[in-house]
């Protein structure tokens, strides 16, 4: 009789639902420490009641899928097919299993070996812009190209020392380009994280000798203390403030240890500018090493291969240091001021008839909620302590998402006169009226255009006569209804009093959710 050999079961941990992935990692870590997994502690970890059927079903599913053998009463074992995965989980979460780079201890030597010939003949900081110097310290999903800002500063012949304003500062693309072209800039953002990022990226007057010393001290302390982490008395900071379920969605147990240790070390730095640079590097490294995958939405993959946090931090610090060296070879750069507030309050901060140029990429009506994408860093850097703080930030944001609309939101009152908006929202209502979802999309669109109307009206008096206001924005679709965002913005601008309102194509985009090619255009309006 012929023996039929069974092929080993192929395990794909990346397809596990998050709850199952979370349970599996905890059980594996317990096994590595010769602990018996406790069902009640697992329930607390996942923030489910211990009698929850959902939790029991998750454990049973892991057994059925071949990731575990056994049960809580008799203990669990690792199937042969899951041994490699088990070893990866242990290595990822145990600092003693890792080899940490000591590059930052040798930063002077690394600096001498860096090839800077590409930048040796650059005479002005404006020439650095095209290479992305400084810009790449902290990029962001919705950033627009820094080359575009350079192009528009040249096209519109914006002179040195001009005032350029960015109503939606984001990660500072407009502000950095303005400063590198020796212009001054003001940026607004309701999200304190984005204000912080933009402020750090536009602060060039750093004493690099002191910065090197700080880097080496931090690296020395981290490399020593991570090996004795369990014996340290640390300020747990965001680990105790961020909702536990959300924290575990973002960060593995091992990554939480590395991040909180480094955060404690950086917090002890007295020089605020140096501290901010290292906090920026820390938060970006933390984000890139996390479970998160952005676009579409915010999704978490606990078993996806990601670079190590310390390696990412090392790389980012070296990049920051080397970029600052390039910028500081020149003295002709402008300065920026960041305002942590809604741009709808701009008249509180800027005098009438003083702005030379506005260029921005505002939010789109696409139901993306940006505080969700930056939630980790906002807790990590102490900008929020709880969800009430998050809610207060959301209240000041342009309502391009249904999650940003509150009971008192009423910007739509300002755009009732525009038939084009009414027609679009009526079509969306017809598409969603019989569904149990999407009922708030029509209001979101009205509130969005209401906010954008207020934005353009707010800056009208602040612009100099004949100054330009550029908005990089894309048309959208919601449930099959096409929203001509650019045309509506132009219509509203004309009603406010802007002249020569036009648009030019920037690029075409396609969505994963439909086959419609959507133009992203530059809306150009002039006072």
End position of a domain, from candidates 272, 299, 328: 328
Q: Is residue 106 part of a domain?
A: no
Q: What is the CATH number of the domain that holds 390?
A: 3.40.50.150
Eight-state DSSP code of residue 51? T
Residue 355 and residue 496 in one domain? yes
Residue 407 and residue 518 in one domain? yes
Residue 36 has pLDDT above 70, yes or no: yes
Residue 237 zone, left/alpha/beta (φ > 0; ψ -120 to 50; rest): left
Residue 274 and residue 295 in one domain? yes
Find all residues with CB under 8 Å of 25, minimum gap 6, and list them.
89, 93, 252, 253, 302
End position of a domain, from candidates 93, 112, 136: 93
Confidence of residue 78 (pLDDT cuts 50, 70, 90): very high
Residue 41 and residue 139 in one domain? no
Peptide bond into 46 cis (omega under 30): no
Residue 142 and residue 278 in one domain? no
Q: Is residue 84 part of a domain?
A: yes
Find all residues with CB under 8 Å of 393, minimum gap 6, and list them.
190, 191, 192, 371, 378, 384
Residue 456 and residue 422 in one domain? yes
What are the backbone dihedrals phi and psi of residue 229, each rounded to the nearest 5 degrees, phi first? -50, -45
Question: Is-contact 215 341, C-beta < 8 A?
Answer: no
Residue 8 has pLDDT above 60, yes or no: no
Q: Is residue 120 part of a domain?
A: no
Q: Is residue 478 part of a domain?
A: yes
pLDDT, one tens digit per residue, over 288-320 is: 999 998 866 788 888 888 999 999 999 999 999
Find all residues with CB under 8 Å of 239, minimum gap 6, and list them.
247, 256, 260
Find the angle CA(431)-CA(433)-CA(436) to the nearest 5 degrees: 105
Q: Is residue 107 part of a domain?
A: no
Q: Is residue 476 part of a domain?
A: yes
Residue 388 and residue 520 in one domain? yes
pLDDT the model gives residue 37:
86
Residue 266 has pLDDT above 80, yes or no: yes
Among 391, 402, 408, 398, which Cα is nearest to 473's? 398
CA distance 300 to 304: 9
pLDDT, one tens digit per residue, over 132-175 is: 999 999 987 666 789 999 999 999 999 999 999 999 999 999 99
pLDDT the model gives residue 44:
84
End position of a domain, from candidates 269, 296, 328: 328
What is the torsion angle, in degrees rounded to the nearest 10, for the CA atoms of residue 255, residue 257, residue 259 and residue 262?
-140
Residue 358 and residue 466 in one domain? yes
Instruction: Give the position of tokens 């990822």.
Output: 92
**Residue 360 host element (H or E):** strand 355-360
Number of folded domains in the chain?
3
Confidence of residue 9 (pLDDT cuts 50, 70, 90): low
Residue 112 has pLDDT above 60, yes or no: no
What are the backbone dihedrals phi and psi of residue 502, each rounded to the nearest 5 degrees, phi first? -140, 180
Residue 56 and residue 178 in one domain? no
pLDDT, one tens digit per residue, over 271-285 is: 999 999 999 999 999
pLDDT the model gives residue 251:
94
Q: Is residue 108 part of a domain?
A: no
Q: Please give the C-alpha separations between residue 236 and each of 104, 233, 317, 379, 457, in angstroms, as whole numbers.
A: 25, 9, 24, 12, 45
Residue 339 and residue 318 in one domain? no
Residue 33 has pLDDT above 80, yes or no: yes
Residue 209 and residue 351 in one domain? no
Q: Is residue 2 part of a domain?
A: no
Instruction: Give the position of tokens 């002191």.
Output: 210
Find the angle CA(110)-CA(116)-CA(121) to the nearest 5 degrees: 155
Residue 437 has pLDDT above 80, yes or no: no
Containing structural domain, residue 60: 13-93
Residue 364 and residue 486 in one domain? yes
Q: Concatenated DSSP letters for 219-240?
A: HHHHHHHGGGGGG-----THHH
CA distance 53 to 69: 20
Question: Is-contact 212 200, C-beta < 8 A?
Answer: no
Q: What is the CATH number of the domain that holds 42?
A: 1.10.10.10
């Amino acid at each position: 009789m012929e023996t039929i050999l069974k092929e080993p079961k192929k395990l794909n941990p990346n397809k596990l639902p998050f709850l199952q992935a979370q349970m599996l990692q905890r059980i594996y870590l317990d096994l590595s420490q010769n602990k018996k997994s406790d069902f009640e502690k697992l329930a607390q970890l996942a923030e489910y009641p211990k009698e929850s059927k959902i939790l029991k079903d998750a454990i049973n599913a892991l057994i059925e899928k071949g990731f575990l053998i056994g049960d809580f009463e008799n203990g669990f074992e690792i199937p042969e097919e899951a041994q490699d995965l088990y070893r990866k989980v242990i290595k990822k979460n145990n600092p003693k299993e890792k080899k940490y780079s000591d590059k930052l201890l040798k930063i002077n030597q690394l600096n001498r070996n860096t090839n800077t010939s590409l930048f040796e003949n650059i005479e002005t900081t404006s020439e650095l812009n095209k290479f992305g110097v400084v810009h790449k310290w902290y990029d962001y999903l919705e950033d627009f190209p820094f080359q575009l800002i350079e192009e528009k500063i040249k096209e519109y012949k914006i002179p040195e020392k001009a005032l350029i304003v960015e109503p939606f500062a984001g990660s500072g693309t407009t502000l950095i380009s303005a400063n590198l072209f020796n212009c001054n800039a003001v940026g607004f953002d309701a999200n304190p994280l984005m204000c912080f990022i933009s402020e750090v990226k536009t602060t060039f007057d750093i004493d690099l000798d002191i910065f090197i010393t700080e880097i080496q001290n931090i690296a020395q302390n981290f490399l020593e203390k991570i090996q004795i982490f369990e014996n340290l008395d640390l300020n747990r900071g965001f680990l105790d403030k961020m909702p536990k379920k959300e924290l575990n969605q973002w960060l593995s147990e091992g990554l939480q240890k590395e991040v909180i240790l480094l955060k404690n070390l950086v917090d002890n730095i007295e020089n605020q500018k140096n501290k901010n640079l290292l906090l920026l590097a820390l938060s970006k490294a933390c984000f890139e090493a996390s479970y998160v995958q952005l676009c579409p939405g915010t999704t978490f993959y606990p078993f996806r291969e990601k670079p190590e946090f310390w390696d990412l931090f090392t790389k980012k610090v070296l990049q920051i240091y080397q970029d600052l060296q390039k910028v500081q070879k020149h003295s002709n750069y402008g300065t920026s001021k960041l305002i942590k507030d809604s741009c709808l309050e701009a008249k509180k901060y800027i005098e009438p008839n003083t702005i030379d140029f506005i260029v921005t990429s505002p939010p789109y009506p696409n139901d993306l909620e940006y505080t969700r994408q930056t939630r980790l860093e906002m807790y990590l850097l102490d900008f929020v302590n709880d969800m009430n703080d998050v809610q207060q930030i959301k209240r000041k944001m342009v309502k391009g998402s249904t999650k940003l609309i509150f009971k008192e939101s009423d910007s739509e009152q300002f755009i009732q006169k525009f038939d084009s908006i009414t027609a679009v929202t009526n079509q969306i209502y017809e598409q969603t009226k019989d569904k149990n979802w999407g009922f708030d999309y029509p209001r979101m669109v009205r509130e969005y255009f209401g906010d954008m109307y207020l934005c353009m009206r707010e800056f009208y008096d602040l612009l100099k006569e004949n100054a330009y206001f550029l908005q990089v924005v894309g048309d959208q679709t919601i449930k099959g209804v096409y929203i001509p965002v650019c045309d509506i913005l132009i219509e509203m601008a004309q009603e406010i009093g802007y002249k020569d309102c036009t648009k030019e194509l920037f690029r075409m985009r396609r969505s994963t959710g439909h086959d419609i090619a959507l133009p992203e255009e530059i809306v150009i309006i002039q006072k």
